[in-house]
Amino acid sequence: MRFKKLQQTMFLGLLVFISVAFLYVINDFIMPIFWAVVLAIIFIPLHRRLVAVVKLPALSSALTMIIILLITILPLFIVGSLVLKESVSLYQHISAADSQGNVTVDLFDTFGQAATYLERFGVSETEARERMTAYAGAATNWLTNQAVALGSKTFSITLQFFLMLYVLFFMLKDGAKIKKRLIEILPLGDRREKKLFAKFTSTTRAVVKGTLIVGIVQGAIGAVLFSIAGINGAILWGVLMTIVSVVPAVGTVVVWLPAGLLLLFTGSVWQGMLILIGGALIISLIDNILRPILVGKDTKMPDVLVLVSTLGGLSVFGITGFVIGPIVAGFFMSMWEMFEEEYHTDLLLRG
């Protein structure tokens, strides 16, 4: 009996060790695998519809991947190229400021004009200009350095991209079989495992559809408004609005509101009103209109938990953390809900 217990202990120990070792080996490729799973979850309904039409899972997977490339990857590549171009242009403008210290980019030049009002509060116009130029230069310099860093990792990024596509193909084709196999293997109990898989799926869809898509729409509308107002780098500002919209309780208002006020203060009345009215009536309302439609019946978490998990995810995992953080929070809630359900009576008796 003792020997059998020893065997079980050694087997479980070896199982844990080899699992940790495997995760260590594939550590550099966890993110591509993660995003393959996320894309598979989002586009699996489309894949099922294609299977019903063409009757071939492999062909349906290939067609789904082509659609994913056309509607997600290609636009991201195009927008990324435009943002890089505008970032470099902005950096060059700031570096080539004229002898009076005026920045030739519209928004920053507008800030320079508005800085005259700050003198009433004891802030020097020259000091305000210098600080704004320094901040803008630092920001654009960071963007340029990131682009150079990405360029130096072209091979690694390309490898991870094709690995993601490879994993995505099999996740679409064999996702149901993989899920069934995991439920059979994991020792948590089928009921718990099905609930956790359901939570992972619903949270992923809610985060991607209810956060990322809403942010992209808000950023696109913001870029259009900025372009109509004649602000240089409209796409760059639109991408910035998309990024800040991901963070709950922050939102795009931190970009369009100061921009609109600056234009008003410097005499660009119709441009400022366009951005302020468009921001208040269109951009800000997009969240309330689109999010319920996109999220639908997917899981909803308390706003405070979404905020904390999103910020924590961004801090630990970088930009990918806006998805990972809420998913971890979703698992956290699910585990404690299951604990409460299963030990509800014992907890009451103890009380």
* Alpha-carbon dihedral angle through residues 235, 236, 241, 242, given to the nearest 10 degrees: 80
How do residues 138-178 score in pLDDT, each as one tens digit?
Answer: 655 655 565 555 555 667 778 888 899 999 999 988 888 88
pLDDT in tens, 88-145: 666 665 555 444 444 333 555 555 555 555 555 555 556 655 665 565 556 556 555 6
Q: What does the DSSP assignment read for 254-278? A: HHHHHHHHHHHHTT-HHHHHHHHHH
Q: Exposed/middle/buried for 212, CB within 10 Å: 0-12, 13-18, 19+?
A: middle
Q: Which two tokens stand for residue 328?
A: 């971890």
Extract the tokens encoding 234.
């409209």
Q: What confidence category does residue 63 fall into, taking pLDDT thresholds of 50, 70 and 90?
A: very high
Which range among 25-34, 192-201, 241-250, 270-279 shows the weakest confidence by mean pLDDT?
241-250
Q: What angle do CA 221, 292, 316 make, to 5 degrees?
A: 75
pTM: 0.72
Q: How confident is the prediction for the chain on average, in pLDDT?
A: 77
On the 0-12 / 13-18 / 19+ scale of CB atoms within 10 A, 275 is buried
> What is residue 99's predicted lDDT score, i.e. its pLDDT?
40
Number of residues that this document lists for the chain: 351
pLDDT at 98: 43
